[in-house]
């Protein structure tokens, strides 16, 4: 049974038909990537999974339960952490406060402390900046904070939206190394990226989204070699 | 070139201060206080001296390189500041002299009722027209130069390092001492009506001199104690730096200050008399309201401009339940939970439709809500009595004691306010408080954290409303009769203002804000009809000097200072050949 499954999901923004029947699934322990150009519906897919948008048609299933009618806080509580696009951190709260906010739904103090330690080990830069307001961090550090904060809820699956956006190449490399490390420690990851080459390099499987529909799917290696993907997303 | 600039700066400040002086004369301030004197100098002369010095200080500061790096300032030297100060004072003097000459020559009484022959007399310092005018010019230039020198001297004098912490520790200790002695004195006097021996004890000179029987005196002694303590601290620093530093580290300044004020709030009203206690109860009611609104605005970040509605609902609920007009006669303590619940329910009813609104839109809708409640109270004559209000509301009773006098009300409100403050402090430190902070900072991200923003928003509205409900109930019980006119927009604005003045999101700040906003107009009564003028000016000055509020929460203080830090960083990182750009300490310096 897949951890996460979307069945023929249609999502609208008012009259705009953003997702036109998306079906996909993520298995336990995988890194699955969702690639596609601007406006293809990648972010919309993530927002639909985490309950910020409701699909008009179709179903979203998580660990054998249907979740598309649930409010976002229930979905988060079930173990889906959404790390939104554009490094949306609490700019005026300190790094530590940001991380603690990520564990908002948890009552096990010891476990939270453990996870804080784990996140700070993954991102040593954050440890140096614990008492500093999030808004004063650099772009890369803010992205690390956003990912770290999502991990603080000890999620079953982590939804990452464009973690490479606006970062210097060297930082992108670093972030992707950490993503792989998070996955190795046992967290399932659904990764949305515009940078198809990098995404396919870390992912096991991938989906290609185009104007609201899944255009291609398959193992990352196969996609990387496919003629269509190379032409459209990898620059030949 | 530089000299021209200094002259221009002086002219500009001189014009501003001169106009301000003329305005003060035109509103009749000089006439009204011609007879009053402070330390041997009449109030109008004080004003002339202070304004002259201040003008020179400000002009000198601007021309002397305030906000620039030390090197740039040193290069400028003394001349520009002095020039600007002198020109500023002279300009103000010229303006005032011209004004005096005009009112002496022409009859302006038709247009300005405060211009009387005595005004000329006051303005020329009794020397008559030509001689007095020379005084203005000479005096203006001298005072202006003096002000500029004051600024320069203030720059040059370097107090020993760490003097602020030591002065603070000294001031706090002296304040605590005064609060303790005053409390003992008040307690003894209050007891002396029962036990005669205690009365003689209260007459001990030490205790008599701090006896809190008048709020002016309390204020004077508080300021004196704190000032003296601060000076003692600095002296100690000069004598024995180690001991002073140790003292500064040992004294828990913030906690001790809060404790001192709590002590004063607990015991001083015993002997303050009815008038001041009446003032204090009003402050207490606003403290409660402010604490409630602080939950909504300060914690949860929901701008509510119709907060008075919940105050009105609390008051009218009690009136319905208690006034003989409706025949229910429910007593105060039974009505309390009902009024709280009603107000909380109203809070939720307001909350549901505005769930999706933010910022300005939310402010407008809540503003409308406040007005709707007032209009309903005003127009549903059969139900609420309309503009005639509801009369014969009974005060609360504790066992056999009917709470009736201002002092008794004060103590009831004190207990209520402390409870409300305690509950809000606990809420702020709890999970709920963290959810509010997250929501205030960024609602979308808060939802992504798994926070149920709908519930927490409604909770904030309900909690805030129920506190206003308690305040309204106590208000109704104190007034004995309530009218829709008591619940106008101004109450909402005052509640919001006191939060802003005190420091958004800070509980001691709310209390300080209420004391200043509602207490200051009473303390300024000596200024007669000018009190509101000065009150407004003080509020403006306070917000300019301390935009983060009187007693801000740590987070807010950090935010405001962070903004300043950022401007420093951007300045210091600007590429520039000027050495001024390499001193990041002073904000606002542009090379």
- B105 pLDDT band, cuts 50/70/90, is confident
Residue B233 in this model has a pLDDT that exceeds 60: yes
Contact assignment for A71 to B558 by CB distance below 8 Å: no
Beta bridge partners of A218: A206
- B1 pLDDT band, cuts 50/70/90, is low
Number of domains in chain A: 1
Report pLDDT digits (tens) over B575-590.
333 333 333 433 433 3
CA atoms within 13 A on the CB side of B426: 7
Is residue B72 domain-resident?
yes
Contact assignment for B450 to A101 by CB distance below 8 Å: no
**Co-location of B326 and B468 in the same domain:** yes
Is residue B586 domain-resident?
no
**Co-location of B353 and B222 in the same domain:** no
Closest approach of A151 to chain B, Cα-based (Å): 11
Tokens found for residue B333: 């303590």
Residue B197 in this model has a pLDDT that exceeds 90: no
% of chain A beyond a pLDDT of 70: 99
pLDDT in the model for residue B74: 67
Number of domains in chain B: 3
First to last CA, chain A: 37
Closest approach of B349 to chain A, Cα-based (Å): 21
Residues B467-488 have a mean pLDDT of 95
Tokens found for residue B556: 């807010």
* Angle of helix B163-192 versus helix B241-250 axis, rounded to 10: 60
Buried b (16+ CB within 10 A) or exposed e, B215-234: beebeebbeebbeebbebbb
Closest CA to B167 of B175, B157, B155: B175
Is residue B567 domain-resident?
no
**More confident site: A92 or B558:** A92
What is the rounded distance in angstroms from the CA atom of residue A193 to the CA atom of residue B151? 60
DSSP string for B537-568: HHHHHHHHH-TT-SS--HHHHHHHHHHHHHHH
Interface of A with B (CB under 8 A): 50, 52, 71-73, 75-77, 82-84, 88-93, 97, 100-102, 104-105, 133, 136, 149, 153
Give a three-class secondary structure readout of B436-470: HHHHHHCHHHHHHCCCCHHHHHHHHHHHHHHHHHH
Residue A156 in this model has a pLDDT that exceeds 90: yes
Closest approach of A101 to chain B, Cα-based (Å): 7
pLDDT in the model for residue B579: 39
The SS3 call for residue B355 is coil
Report long-range pairs for B255-259 (Cβ below 8 Å, ≥24 apart). B256/B172, B256/B173, B256/B175, B256/B176, B257/B172, B257/B175, B258/B508, B259/B176, B259/B179
**Co-location of B146 and B197 in the same domain:** no
Contact assignment for A76 to B449 by CB distance below 8 Å: yes
CATH of the domain at A108: 3.40.50.300
Residue B321 in this model has a pLDDT that exceeds 80: yes
Nearest CA in chain A to B437: A93
B contacts of A136 (beta carbons < 8 Å): 562
- B374 pLDDT band, cuts 50/70/90, is very high
Cβ pair A102, A148 in contact under 8 A? yes
Residue B458 in this model has a pLDDT that exceeds 90: yes
Residue B569 in this model has a pLDDT that exceeds 50: no
Residues B259-274 have a mean pLDDT of 91
**Co-location of B184 and B146 in the same domain:** no
pLDDT in the model for residue A87: 66
- B42: enclosing H helix or E strand: strand B41-42
% of chain B beyond a pLDDT of 90: 47
* Angle of helix B215-239 versus helix B163-192 axis, rounded to 10: 140
What is the rounded distance in angstroms from the CA atom of residue B467 to the CA atom of residue A100? 29
What is the rounded distance in angstroms from the CA atom of residue B391 to the CA atom of residue B316? 11
CB pairs under 8 A between A and B: 63
pLDDT in the model for residue B578: 39
Is residue B169 domain-resident?
yes
Is residue B561 domain-resident?
no
CATH of the domain at B311: 1.10.3470
Contact assignment for B434 to A104 by CB distance below 8 Å: yes
Please identify which residue in the block is written with the tokens 């990851």: A189
Please identify which residue in the block is written with the tokens 């000329």: B120
pLDDT in the model for residue A236: 55
Residues B438-452 have a mean pLDDT of 88
DSSP string for chain A: --SEEEEEEEEEETTEEEEEEEEEEE-TT-EEEEE--TTSSHHHHHHHHTTSS--SEEEEEETTEE-TTS-HHHHHHHTEEEE-TT----TTSBHHHHHHHHTTT---HHHHHHHHHHHHHH-HHHHHTTTSBGGGS-HHHHHHHHHHHHHTT--SEEEEE-TTTT--HHHHHHHHHHHHHHHHTT-EEEEEES-HHHHHHH-SEEEEEETTEEEEEEEHHHHHH-HHHHHHHS--
**More confident site: A25 or B205:** A25
Contact assignment for A73 to B447 by CB distance below 8 Å: yes
Is residue B398 domain-resident?
yes
Is residue B557 domain-resident?
no
What is the rounded distance in angstroms from the CA atom of residue B230 to the CA atom of residue B250? 16
DSSP string for A75-95: HHHHTEEEE-TT----TTSBH
**More confident site: B468 or B585:** B468
Closest approach of B173 to chain A, Cα-based (Å): 31
A contacts of B559 (beta carbons < 8 Å): 92, 133
Interface of B with A (CB under 8 A): 431, 434-435, 437-438, 441-442, 444-452, 454, 555, 558-559, 562
Return all residues near B528 (Cβ < 8 A) that are at least 6 apart. Answer: B32
Report pLDDT digits (tens) over A117-154.
999 999 999 999 999 999 899 888 999 999 999 999 99
Residues B506-513 have a mean pLDDT of 91
How open is the CA angle B137-B142-B144, to the nearest 5 degrees?
A: 95
Q: What ipTM is given for this predicted complex? A: 0.84
- Specify burial of residue B409 (Cβ count, 10 A radius: 0-12, 13-18, 19+): buried
Nearest CA in chain B to A49: B448
pLDDT in the model for residue B526: 76
Please give the torsion angle defined by the CA atoms of residues B2, B7, B13 and B16, in that order, rounded to the nearest 10 degrees: -140
B contacts of A92 (beta carbons < 8 Å): 441, 555, 559
* Residue A218 lies in domain: 4-233
Residue among A76, A91, A101 whose CB faces B438 most closely: A101
**Co-location of B512 and B544 in the same domain:** yes
- B562 pLDDT band, cuts 50/70/90, is low
* Residue B481 lies in domain: 272-524+532-552
Nearest CA in chain B to A94: B555
A contacts of B555 (beta carbons < 8 Å): 92-93
DSSP string for B371-401: HHHHHHHHH-HHHH-GGG-B--PPPPEETTE
**Co-location of B254 and B295 in the same domain:** no
B contacts of A76 (beta carbons < 8 Å): 448-450
Interface probe, candidates B298, B435, B448, B559, chain A, greatest A C-beta count within 10 A? B448
**Co-location of B435 and B479 in the same domain:** yes
Residue among B442, B452, B562 whose CB faces A88 most closely: B442
The average confidence (pLDDT) of chain B is 86
The average confidence (pLDDT) of chain A is 91
Residue among A77, A84, A97 whose CB faces B445 most closely: A84
pLDDT in the model for residue B568: 43
A contacts of B450 (beta carbons < 8 Å): 72-73, 75-77, 104-105, 153
pLDDT in the model for residue B228: 93
Contact assignment for B445 to A88 by CB distance below 8 Å: yes
**More confident site: B64 or B283:** B283
Report pLDDT digits (tens) over B21-69.
999 899 888 888 888 888 788 888 999 999 999 999 999 888 887 766 6
Residue among B450, B559, B562 whose CB faces A104 most closely: B450
Closest approach of B456 to chain A, Cα-based (Å): 12
Report pLDDT digits (tens) over B169-192.
999 999 999 999 999 988 888 888
Residues B115-130 have a mean pLDDT of 83
Report pLDDT digits (tens) over A195-208.
888 899 999 999 99
B contacts of A132 (beta carbons < 8 Å): none
């Amino acid at each position: 049974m897949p951890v996460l499954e979307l069945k023929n999901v249609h999502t609208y923004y008012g009259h705009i038909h953003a997702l036109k029947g998306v079906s996909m699934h993520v298995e336990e322990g995988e890194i699955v990537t969702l690639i596609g150009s601007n406006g293809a519906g990648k972010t919309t897919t993530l927002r639909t999974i985490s309950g910020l948008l409701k699909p008009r048609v179709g179903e979203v299933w998580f660990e054998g339960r249907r979740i598309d009618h649930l409010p976002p806080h229930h979905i988060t509580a079930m173990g889906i952490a959404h790390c939104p696009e554009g490094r949306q951190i609490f700019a005026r709260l300190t790094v530590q406060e940001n991380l603690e906010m990520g564990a908002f739904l948890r009552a096990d103090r010891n476990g939270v402390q453990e996870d804080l330690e784990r996140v700070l080990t993954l991102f040593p830069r954050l440890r140096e900046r614990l008492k500093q307001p999030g808004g004063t961090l650099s772009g890369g550090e803010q992205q690390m904070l956003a990912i770290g904060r999502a991990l603080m809820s000890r999620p079953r699956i982590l939804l990452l939206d464009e973690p490479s956006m606006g970062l210097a190449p060297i930082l992108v490399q670093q972030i992707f190394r950490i993503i792989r490390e998070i996955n190795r420690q046992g967290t399932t990851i659904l990764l949305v990226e515009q940078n198809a080459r990098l995404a396919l390099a870390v992912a096991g499987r991938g989906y290609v989204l185009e104007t609201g529909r899944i255009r291609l799917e398959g193992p990352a290696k196969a996609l990387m070699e496919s003629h269509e993907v190379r032409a459209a997303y990898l620059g030949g | 070139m530089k000299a021209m600039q200094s002259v221009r700066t002086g002219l500009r400040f001189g014009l501003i201060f001169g106009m301000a002086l003329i305005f003060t004369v035109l509103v009749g301030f000089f006439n009204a206080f011609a007879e009053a004197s402070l330390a041997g100098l009449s109030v109008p002369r004080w004003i002339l001296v202070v304004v002259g010095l201040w003008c020179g200080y400000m002009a000198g500061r601007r021309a002397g390189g305030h906000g620039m790096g030390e090197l740039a300032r040193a290069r400028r030297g003394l001349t520009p500041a002095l020039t600007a100060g002198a020109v500023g004072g002279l300009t103000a003097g010229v303006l005032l002299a011209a004004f005096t000459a005009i009112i002496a020559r022409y009859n302006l009484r038709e247009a300005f009722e405060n211009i009387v022959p005595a005004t000329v007399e006051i303005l020329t310092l009794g020397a008559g027209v030509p001689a007095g005018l020379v005084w203005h010019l000479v005096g203006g230039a001298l005072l202006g130069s003096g002000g500029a020198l004051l600024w320069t001297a203030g720059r040059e004098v370097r107090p020993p390092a760490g003097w602020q912490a030591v002065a603070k520790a000294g001031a706090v200790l002296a304040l605590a001492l005064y609060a303790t002695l005053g409390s003992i004195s008040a307690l003894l006097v209050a007891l002396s009506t029962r036990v005669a021996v205690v009365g003689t004890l209260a007459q001990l000179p030490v205790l008599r001199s701090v006896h809190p029987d008048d709020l002016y005196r309390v204020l004077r002694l508080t300021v004196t104690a704190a000032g003296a303590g601060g000076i003692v601290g600095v002296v100690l620093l000069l004598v024995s730096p180690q001991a002073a530093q140790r003292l500064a580290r040992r004294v828990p300044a913030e906690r001790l200050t809060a404790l001192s004020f709590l002590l004063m709030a607990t015991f001083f009203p015993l002997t303050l008399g009815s008038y001041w206690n009446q003032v204090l109860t009003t402050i207490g009611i606003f403290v409660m309201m402010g604490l409630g609104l602080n939950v909504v605005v300060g914690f949860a970040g929901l701008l509510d401009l119709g907060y008075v509605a919940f105050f009105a609902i609390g008051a009218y609920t009690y009136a319905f339940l208690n006034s003989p007009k409706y025949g229910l006669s429910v007593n105060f303590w039974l009505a309390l939970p009902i009024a709280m619940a009603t107000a909380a329910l109203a809070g939720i009813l307001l909350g549901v439709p505005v769930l999706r609104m933010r910022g300005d839109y939310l402010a407008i809708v809540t503003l409308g809500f406040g007005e709707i409640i007032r209009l309903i109270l005003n127009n549903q004559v059969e139900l609420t009595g309309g503009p005639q209000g509801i009369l014969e509301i009974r005060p609360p009773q504790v066992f056999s004691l009917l709470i009736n006098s201002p002092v008794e009300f004060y103590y009831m409100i004190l207990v209520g306010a402390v409870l409300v403050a305690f509950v809000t402090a606990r809420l702020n430190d709890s999970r709920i408080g963290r959810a509010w902070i997250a929501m205030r900072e960024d609602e979308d991200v808060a939802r992504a954290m798994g926070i149920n923003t709908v519930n927490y928003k409604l909770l904030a509205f309900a909690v805030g409303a129920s506190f206003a409900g308690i305040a309204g109930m106590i208000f109704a019980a104190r007034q004995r009769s309530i009218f829709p006119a008591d619940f106008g927009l101004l109450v909402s604005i005052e509640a919001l203002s006191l939060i802003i003045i005190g420091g958004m999101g800070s509980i001691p700040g709310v209390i300080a804000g209420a004391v200043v906003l509602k207490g200051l107009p009473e303390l300024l009564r000596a200024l007669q009809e000018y009190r509101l003028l000065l009150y407004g000016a003080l509020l403006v000055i306070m917000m300019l000097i301390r935009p983060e509020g009187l007693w801000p929460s740590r987070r807010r203080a950090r935010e405001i200072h962070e903004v300043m830090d950022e401007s420093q960083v951007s300045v210091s990182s600007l590429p520039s050949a000027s050495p001024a750009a390499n001193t990041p300490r002073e904000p606002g310096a542009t090379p």
